[in-house]
Amino acid sequence: MQFQNYPYAIFEKKIIPLEEAKISIMTNALHYGVGIFGGIKVFDTPDGPGIFRLDDHVSRLQKSVEFLNFRYKFNAAQVKKDILKLAKKNKIQAQTYIRPIIYRSDTRISPAIEGDYDLAVYMLAMPGAYYNYEEEGIRVNVSSWQRNSSLAIPPKTKATGGYINSALAIDEAKKLGFDSAIMLDKDDYVSEGAVMNLFIVKEGCLITPPADSDILEGITRKTIFEIAAEAKIPFKEAKVSKEELYSADEVFFCGTATDITWCSQIDDKNISKARGPLTAKIESAFSKLPVQHKELFTVVN
Catalytic residues, by residue number, are: 158
Cα angle 125-300-95, degrees, rounded to a multiple of 5: 25
- The one-letter amino acid at 208: T
Q: Which is nearer to ligand PMP, 15 or 125 (CB)?
A: 125
What is the distance between the alpha carbons of residues 264 and 52, in angstroms, rounded to a whole number?
28
- Is position 250 an interface residue for ligand PMP (rule: CB under 6 A)? no
**For the window 47-86, what string marks contact with ligand PMP as x by the rule CB under 6 A?**
----------------------------------------
Half-sphere exposure of 40 (CA within 13 A, CB side): 30
Q: Which is nearer to ligand PMP, 220 or 265 (CB)?
A: 220
Q: Is 109 left (phi over 0), alpha (psi -120 to 50) or beta?
A: beta
User: Which residues, numbered 151-210, are part of the site for ligand PMP (CB under 6 A)?
Assistant: 166, 192, 195-197
Minimum separation from the CB atom of position 245 to ligand PMP (A):
16
Minimum separation from the CB atom of position 19 to ligand PMP (A):
26
Decide: 15 and 34 in contact? Cβ < 8 Å: no
What is the distance between the alpha carbons of residues 158 and 56, in angstroms, rounded to a whole number?
14
What value does the CA radius of gyration of the chain take, rounded to a whole number of Å? Answer: 19
**Binding residues for ligand PMP, how many (CB under 6 A)?**
13
Minimum separation from the CB atom of position 244 to ligand PMP (A):
20
Q: Where are the alpha helices (DSSP H) in the chain?
A: 28-32, 54-67, 76-89, 163-175, 219-230, 242-246, 277-287, 289-292
**For the window 208-227, what string marks contact with ligand PMP as x by the rule CB under 6 A?**
--------x-xxxx------
- Is position 283 an interface residue for ligand PMP (rule: CB under 6 A)? no
**For the window 19-48, what string marks contact with ligand PMP as x by the rule CB under 6 A?**
--------------------x---------
Binding site for ligand PMP (CB under 6 A): 39, 166, 192, 195-197, 216, 218-221, 255-256
